[in-house]
Amino acid sequence: MHAAAVIVFVLLFIFITVLGFVASRWRKGNLSHLDEWGLGGRRFGTFVTWFLLGGDLYTAYTFIAVPALMYGSGALGFYAVPYTIVVYPLAFLFMPRLWSVAKKHGYVTASDFVQGRYQSRLLALAIAVTGILATLPYIALQLVGMKAVLAAMGLAGDWPLIIAFIILALYTYTSGLRAPAMIAFVKDILIYVVILVAAIVIPMKLGGFSHIFHAAAAALATHKPKGAVVISPKLFLPYATLAFGSAVALFLYPHAVTGTLSASSRVAVKRNMAFLPIYSFMLGVLALLGYMALAAGIHTKVTSNAVPLLFLKEFPSWFAGVGFAAIAIGALVPAAIMSIAASNLFTRNIYKEFFVRQATPEHEARVAKIFSLLVKLGALYFVIGIPTQYAINLQLLGGIWILQTVPAIVLGLYTRWFNRYALFIGWAVGMIYGTGMAVENQFKSSIYTVHLGHLAIASYAGLTAGIVNLILSVVLTLILKAVGVKSGTDMTDPTDYELELTTLQN
């Protein structure tokens, strides 16, 4: 056991635990109402929202998995950087519209919007179930990141992980979204300090970036299959489609929607889409830790251990503890938001819609709090009770599934042209086709080769399934319109999508 690392880790963990409980008194609101517990009362300004979304989107698994992919496969893992650059201009276009219409009508989830836009309980249920299914393994993967740093410090067994998540469950239950919002400040500061120190100190100790790249290239050439510091031309299309498809999907995850809808104004949402790319610089440096681990002679069959082992080798034990605490807190913040987001979906779009239509705001909040506990228990079971690979496989499916919500949500923010039945059938076919591609790949890759005659096109399975979904939605809408099938009443107005907070208040 690395005593100094453990002491620093425990002290920082105790500090953020106290913050989690204190957060219930921050920006006081009635936490027995779902809007306050699950969205922070929609009162977070630009500064708080920036930290909240940063803590939400840049998870512990990101800090472990991106350099691990660079360590194991090379340049293909760098797709995460252009993906997080492309995502914000896209989100700048549609997320302010979602915020405005949600604020006007009191929508808590994307499924609420779909229900109001298309008057389709079935389509809204499909979006809700997709979001919950995609979120559960994502929470589990936060535990994978935490488990890696606990193991590196010598804290073996499942009890440290169980204790950490019991604490997480308690302060999330008590404080709702305010807890991860407050803790995100500490998490992001720690992450930036650790990454900046790593970017300066480790290259100095290893002989500079030139040596790091040469050593990484030599090491990757010995891997089976071989990796490289520059991707080959045959991987250009898979790389581009993976980056673009992931960018389109990111802000449709329930936790990203929850973080965005908690903003106090449309302007705050726009500013965050402009400022959040700052994190992409940090991610670029973070990805290079995989190459640094190769250059430092780190040898491990479990690539997720590459960064923790690198920190232990190149940093004093106490500073490695700071890095481990940053990663662990980087697990707790998104895990809390994800569990809240899944609870919001279950409560509003399944429990209230199909079981207790007259549920009061207090009743909704109680159900959401209980479901958030069940979500965390399910994630814990994923990590402790079954092989970690299953959680990774399901997360691979998560991205494919979330992309199938694009026509109903993103396009729905701009047009009511699509028929609700066409959207549902397109969603169902996209889900089945995308899942089938992942299964055929035996969950080893999200890149799938489609054969069109003599032409073989290798691309991101989620994007391929999404294109099939969109084409089917368009064709079926044309057919249904031609035969006179109506598509329900739109409860929104075109002006709802451009409203700012001052207009809404007036």
pLDDT in tens, 1-11: 788 899 999 99
| Domain topology for 3-392 | Sodium/glucose cotransporter (1.20.1730)
Tokens of 351: 């429990």
Instruction: Name, in order, each residue with C-beta under 8 angstroms of 281's C-beta and a sequence gap of 6 or more.
Output: none
Per-residue pLDDT averaged across 48-52, rounded? Answer: 93
Q: Is residue 155 classed as helix, strand or coil in its secondary structure? A: coil
Q: What is the pLDDT of residue 381?
A: 82
Assign 504 a pLDDT band (cuts: 50, 70, 90).
low
Q: Which residue has the tokens 């898979």?
A: 238
Q: Which residues are CB-contacts of 335 (< 8 A; sequence separation ≥ 6)?
A: 139, 142, 143, 165, 168, 376, 379
- Residue for token pair 């790319």: 277
Supply the pLDDT for residue 390. 63
Three-class secondary structure of residue 448 per DSSP: strand
Convert 105-133 to b/e letters by CB count within 10 Å (16 or more is b). eebbbbbbbbbbbbbbbebbbbbbbbbbb
Label the pairing between strands 447-452 and 455-460: antiparallel
> What value, to the nearest 5°, has the Cα angle with vertex 256 and ends 190 and 364?
110
* Percent of the chain residues past pLDDT 90, beyond the cut: 63
In what helix (H) or strand (E) does residue 460 lie, and over which residues does it extend?
Answer: strand 455-460
Among 44, 10, 85, 61, which residue's Cα sits nearest to residue 277? 85
Average pLDDT over every residue of 101-127: 96
pLDDT of 506 strictly over 50: no
Residue 298: strand, helix, or coil: coil
Confidence of residue 454 (pLDDT cuts 50, 70, 90): confident
Residue 34 pLDDT > 70, yes or no?
yes
Has residue 388 got a pLDDT over 90? no
Query: Is the pLDDT confidence value at 442 over 80?
Result: yes
Q: Is the peptide bond before 225 cis (omega within 30 degrees of 0)?
A: yes
Alpha-carbon span 425 to 422, nearest angstrom: 5
Q: Burial level of 141, CB count in 10 A (0-12/13-18/19+)?
A: buried
C-alpha 297/C-alpha 292 separation (Å) is 9
Contact criterion met (CB below 8 Å) for 325 and 9: yes
Q: What percent of the chain has pLDDT over 70?
A: 97
- What pLDDT is stored for residue 332 in this prediction? 87
Helices (H), 25-120: 34-39, 46-57, 60-73, 80-105, 110-118
Tokens of 151: 């193991």
pLDDT of residue 392: 62
Of the two residues 179 and 383, the one the predictor is more confident about is: 179
Cβ-based neighbours of 287, under 8 Å, separated by 6 or more: 66, 67, 70, 77, 78, 80, 81
Per the CB < 8 A criterion, the answer to whether 370 and 436 are in contact is no
Q: Identity (one letter) of the amino acid at 466?
A: G
Handedness of CA 89, 93, 97, 98 (dihedral sign): negative
Say what the pLDDT of residue 393 is: 66
Lowest-pLDDT range of 30-44, 58-72, 183-197, 465-479 = 58-72
Mean pLDDT of the chain: 90
- Contact between 126 and 402 (Cβ < 8 Å): no
Between residues 27 and 428, which one has the greater pLDDT? 428
Cα torsion angle, 396, 401, 406, 407, sign: positive
Mean pLDDT of 432-460: 90
Count of Cβ atoms closer than 10 Å to residue 453 Cβ: 5
* pLDDT for 373: 92
Q: Is the pLDDT of residue 28 over 70?
A: yes
Is the pLDDT confidence value at 232 over 90? Answer: no
pLDDT above 50 (res 415) = yes
